[in-house]
Amino acid sequence: MRKTLLLLAPLVLLGGCTWGINPDPGSNNIRTVWSGEVTGCRDLGKITVSVMSRVGPFDRNDIKVRDELQVQARNSAVGMHADTIKPLGEPAEGSQAWEAYACGNHMVGPSSAPSPAQNSGNQPSPQAPAQQSGGFQTYPAKGG
């Protein structure tokens, strides 16, 4: 029993790692549109990214997986000369599809960020994650 615990300990600790996925230069300038309109933006194509969502029999933290997927999508968008990305669906088994856009000075539609009326109090909006420093996002809980 003791040997089993010692063998599983590194896997549990690795479950919280970021696996070395870091933002590329310029990727923090890429906007993420969660539910807003991209009318007037030029569609540059689809980006599909994936990360490890499981380590052995253990699921990795959902928020870390989502953050890593977004970092990879932003990194890919830089190479496409995009300034905006939008997820095409929820992550599934560590993979997620995104669409890349060039919006330039075009303002993304009003539904890309919650208005004060949509987001009263201190609760994050389920439609638009709260902006964090460094260009990263937080995500609403599943089913929320």
Residues 69-83 have a mean pLDDT of: 97
Spacing of C-alpha 19 from chain mean position:
15
Find, among 50, 39, 44, 109, the residue nearest to 77 by Cα. Answer: 44
**Both structure tokens of 126:** 């389920």
Report the distance separating Cα 36 and Cα 87, nearest Å: 11
| pLDDT tens-digit readout, 25-71 | 999 999 999 887 899 999 999 999 999 999 999 999 999 999 999 99
| pLDDT tens-digit readout, 81-127 | 999 999 999 999 999 999 999 998 765 554 444 333 333 444 433 34
Domains of the chain, each with CATH number or no CATH: 33-105 (3.30.1660.10)
The answer on pLDDT for 143 being more than 70 is no
58 near 112, Cβ under 8 Å? no
